């Protein structure tokens, strides 16, 4: 048995403490893990091992919470982040289960939010979105569910309309070329791109076309 001779808050991390046994530093613990420990208490090897294991799980959970605080993450991203911090495989799986139970790790919700965010701020085709989600580690079922309500033509039109203002002073051929290339880069198919570009050209140059017809009538 070893006696706890001191429990001190870490200088660089007030949420963790250093535990000293028989006058020597033994290990660090999260404050929540060390909450029930008292100076003078005696610990056996089994209890020490249990505390260290519990701390490993708590550190992994807190690291995941920090990682998730910036934006939603897929389970693959969470795993990769924990591996980067040298977390043991069994601790990673336990942490993910804890996050799932807390509603903080949900690939279906992540996929839905990703598609919604992309469609609002950086629109791209369903094919391009599927590739991105697959890179995030999502399975086909989650991907298809998240894309089921995406209207490809409406998305292409919205995407192209926002970009078309940059090309409004170009001649028709150059306008079509520039806007088509832009939509192709976002993964839209040839057929969707062609119809979208024609629609946007017609809508943005209606007044010009009318003026041309008026001039012809005056000749």
Higher pLDDT, 121 or 89: 89
pLDDT the model gives residue 128: 92
CB 111 within 8 A of CB 133: yes
Residues 6 or more apart from 124 whose CB is under 8 A from it? 118, 132, 155, 159, 186, 187, 188
pLDDT in tens, 84-118: 999 999 999 999 999 999 999 999 999 999 999 98
Q: Can you tell me the distance from the alpha carbon of 51 to that of 86, in angstroms, rounded to the nearest whole number?
A: 19
Question: Is the pLDDT confidence value at 57 over 90?
Answer: yes
pLDDT the model gives residue 168: 85
pLDDT band at 149 (very low <50, low <70, confident <90, very high): confident
Q: Can you tell me the distance from the alpha carbon of 114 to that of 173, in angstroms, rounded to the nearest whole number?
A: 35
pLDDT in tens, 11-56: 999 999 999 999 999 999 999 899 999 999 999 999 999 999 999 9
pLDDT band at 218 (very low <50, low <70, confident <90, very high): very low
CB 132 within 8 A of CB 118: yes
Question: Is the pLDDT confidence value at 217 over 60?
Answer: no
Mean pLDDT for the chain overall:
91
Residues 6 or more apart from 180 whose CB is under 8 A from it? 193, 194, 197
pLDDT the model gives residue 130: 95
pLDDT in tens, 182-210: 999 999 999 999 999 999 999 987 755 44
Q: How many Å is the maximal CA-CA distance in the chain?
A: 108
pLDDT the model gives residue 188: 93
pLDDT the model gives residue 215: 46
Question: Is the pLDDT confidence value at 214 over 70?
Answer: no
Backbone CA torsion sign across 193, 195, 200, 202: positive
């Amino acid at each position: 048995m070893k006696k706890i001779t001191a429990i001190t808050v870490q200088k660089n991390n007030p949420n963790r403490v250093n535990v000293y046994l028989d006058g020597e530093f033994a290990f660090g613990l999260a404050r929540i893990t060390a909450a029930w420990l008292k100076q003078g208490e005696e610990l056996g090897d089994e209890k020490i091992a249990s505390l260290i294991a519990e701390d490993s799980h708590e550190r992994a959970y807190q690291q995941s919470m920090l990682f998730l605080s910036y934006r939603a993450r897929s389970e693959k991203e969470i795993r990769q982040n924990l591996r980067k911090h040298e977390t043991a495989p069994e601790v990673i799986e336990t942490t993910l289960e804890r996050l799932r139970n807390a509603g903080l790790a949900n690939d279906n919700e992540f996929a839905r939010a990703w598609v919604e965010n992309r469609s609002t701020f950086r629109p791209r085709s369903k094919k391009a979105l599927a590739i991105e989600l697959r890179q995030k580690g999502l399975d086909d079922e989650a991907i298809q569910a998240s894309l089921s309500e995406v209207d490809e033509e409406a998305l292409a039109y919205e995407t192209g309309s926002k970009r078309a203002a940059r090309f409004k002073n170009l001649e028709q051929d150059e306008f079509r070329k520039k806007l088509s290339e832009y939509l192709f880069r976002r993964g839209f198919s040839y057929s969707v791109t062609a119809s979208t570009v024609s629609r946007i050209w017609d809508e943005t140059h209606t007044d010009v076309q009318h003026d041309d017809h008026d001039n012809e009538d005056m000749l």
